[in-house]
Amino acid sequence: MKYRIERDSLGEVSVPERAMWGAQTQRSFTNFPIGTERMPTEIIEAIAMVKKAAAVVNVDLKVLDKERGIAIAKAAERIIAGEHRDQFPLSLWQTGSGTQTNMNVNEVLARMASEDLGESVHPNDHVNRSQSSNDVFPTAMHLATVLAVEERLIPAMEAMTEVLREKRDRYAGLVKIGRTHLQDATPVTLGQEIGGWVRMMERCQSMIMTSLEYLKDLAIGGTAVGTGLNAPEGFGEKVAVQIADMTGRDFRSAPDKFHSLTSKDELVALHGSLKALAADLMKIANDVRWLASGPRCGLGELVIPANEPGSSIMPGKVNPTQAEAVTMISVQVMGNDTIVGFAASQGNFQLNVFMPVTINAVLQSVRLLSDGISSFTERCLKGLEADEERISSTRDRSLMLVTALAPALGYDTAALVAKKAHQERITLKEAAVSMGVLTGEEFDRLVVPERMVGHI
């Protein structure tokens, strides 16, 4: 491989000849050969958005010449569009401020702008003008998270919720046995059961959108420690306006930059709502696989799509693979929540230096939830069917229908009816009649499953 010599404040560095980055990126690439994780693409794009906005504002505030500003903005647009992905090779496990990734973007943009303009564009003096990694990186974290949630996660959630609403309405009148403590309970409709899932998705979306609002406060303008040193007056506010215009979202300048640089509480709050979603998805997926267990020797009330053979040894087996994928995703998100919370607690003085690991966990959670929900919806929920014969059979055999007798017979007598039916393996009706506490006609009048599901 051929190399060229690049220089920074520490001296000379050999850089691969075909690389677009400079000395500081190369130093990081060499000094952090750790793991396989790389800085998320979403962060690279978000930093490029910040650089474009900053270039426009720096020209407007007359701290950067127009020609360089335009060249930097054009180069940033190409990165945002997905060009030169191979020019951002740095490990996630680097400086906790994300400085080396900020400089990676600065150096690549400087080279692109220099080639386009035909004169030197400096990564620090021009591309990073009026900025610090300490305000650029947290700004990019907020920007990337908001876009990922609004563009990927929310549409996936809405699609799943709509499918569940259709199933809820379709099975609104199908009475089945309820279960608490994994034991038989009084009847519900399948529509009511699925309706609970619908509400989970609706409430989680509401919590996510509420917490997302806090992430629209941007740190840019705080520079190194929150004071705004080396940034012209109004820089942060104007950059926030530019980013809002670029994205169509109401981003704004954070009112207290000291908070923005050292605290990650807004990401903690957002990820907490993602954990709530993961918890509800775990419940829904587990319900599906429990209710679909069998098909002959389990509950067997739901029939799941047969997407692939379920066993390498047992012919004809169908497994709830989509539900299993969702439960594993939920476990990963819950683990990521621990990472985000602990990392956020480590803000010392004017800066938190756990930012790369924090944003990697957040974006991974959003990515996994988005993809997992979409796959679960398309390959499981859409094809989910009720086995109405099985549902009727288990409902009619349930001992907990005896609950309808309690007002007429009293709790203790009703309990004796259930106990006798269970011990002698007879129906509740047979037990009540043989005990002489009810006639057959009286039993039929009192025990009507369809009247036990309420009026909700």
Are residues 214 and 318 both part of a single domain? Answer: yes
Distance (Å, whole) CA 450 – CA 456: 13
Of 256, 265, 158, the closest CA to residue 211 belongs to 265
pLDDT value for 1: 87
Determine the pLDDT at residue 205. Answer: 98
Contacts of 283 (CB under 8 A, 6+ apart): 200
Tell whether 168 and 102 lie within a shared domain.
Answer: no
> Which domain range does residue 322 map to?
139-218+255-389
Q: Which residues are catalytic?
A: 181, 311
At residue 455, the pLDDT reads 62
Decide if 10 is inside a domain: yes
Q: What is the pLDDT of residue 436?
A: 97
Residues 6+ apart with CB under 8 A from 345: none
Residues 93 and 169 in one domain: no
Q: What is the dihedral of CA 227, 91, 217, 58, to 10 degrees?
A: 60
Query: What are 237-264's pLDDT values in tens digits?
Result: 999 999 999 999 999 999 999 999 999 9
226 in any annotated domain? no
* Residue 227, domain member (yes or no): no
Residues 317 and 204 in one domain: yes
Is position 362 within any domain?
A: yes
The secondary structure of 20-71 as a DSSP string is ---HHHHHHHHH----S-B--HHHHHHHHHHHHHHHHHHHHTTSS-HHHHHH
Is position 192 within any domain? yes
The DSSP annotation for 314-337 comes to STT----HHHHHHHHHHHHHHHHH
Partnered with residue 312 across adjacent β-strands are none
Q: Mean pLDDT for each consecutive 10-residue tract of the chain (456 residues)?
A: 94 97 98 98 98 98 98 98 98 98 98 97 98 98 98 98 98 97 97 98 98 98 98 98 98 98 98 98 98 96 95 94 98 98 97 98 98 98 98 95 97 97 96 97 96 81
CATH code for the domain of 436 = 1.10.40.30
On average, the pLDDT of the chain sits at 97
244 near 117, Cβ under 8 Å? no
d(CA 286, CA 293): 10
Note the pTM of the prediction, 2 decimals.
0.96
Give the pLDDT confidence score for residue 147 in this predicted structure: 98
Structural domain contains residue 184: yes
Residue 248, in any domain of the structure: no
In tens, the pLDDT along 310-343 reads 999 999 999 999 999 999 999 999 999 999 999 9
* DSSP E strand boundaries for 142-262: 175-180, 183-189, 217-218, 252-253
